[in-house]
Amino acid sequence: MNRATFFSQQAGRVIDAPRLTRARFAIGDVVRHKHHDFRGVIFDIDPVFANSEEWYQSIPVDVRPLREQPYYHLLAENEESSYVAYVSQQNLMADSEGGPVDHPSLSQIFDEYQNGRYQLRRGLAH
């Protein structure tokens, strides 16, 4: 398989990844976690796990997701707070409720909520 590398600031190291991966979701999509009660807006995507080893090892083995899948950075919210989450593709689903997300950092990255998703602010695309 054709491979590529990229530097992950979160992991503090170079990550080896397949050159082609299939992300099920896109930046601006509203998603919900399959097992935990939170939802969020995707603001970045890693082609494979690119966080710290300590973070990965802190996930219980019986529910630890595979590294070789897309991981999504979310502006997340639950009933109590807003925060940033890092979630594997296997643990996300499209948000069935629809509607905007209430996160204080949304306006820094996105413009309006339209047709079930957020539009990235001009000048912020890769």
Domains of the chain listed by start with CATH number: 3-119 (2.30.30.390)
The one-letter code for the residue type at 126 is H
- Taking a C-beta distance cutoff of 8 angstroms, is the pair 76, 36 a contact? no
Question: 5 pLDDT exceeds 80?
Answer: no
Sign of CA dihedral 39, 75, 109, 48: negative
Question: 13 pLDDT exceeds 80?
Answer: no
**Better-predicted residue by pLDDT, 22 or 92:** 92
**Paired tokens of 38:** 């939170």
pLDDT score at 97: 72
The one-letter code for the residue type at 14 is V
pLDDT score at 126: 55
Cα distance between residue 18 and residue 22, in whole Å: 10
Question: 33 pLDDT exceeds 90?
Answer: yes
Nearest to 21 by CA among 51, 1, 42, 44: 1
Q: pLDDT tens across 77-113, in order?
A: 999 999 999 999 999 999 967 789 999 999 999 998 9
Percentage of the chain lying above the pLDDT 70 cut = 83
pLDDT score at 80: 94
Q: In the structure, what pLDDT confidence band is assigned to residue 18 with cuts at 50, 70 and 90? A: low
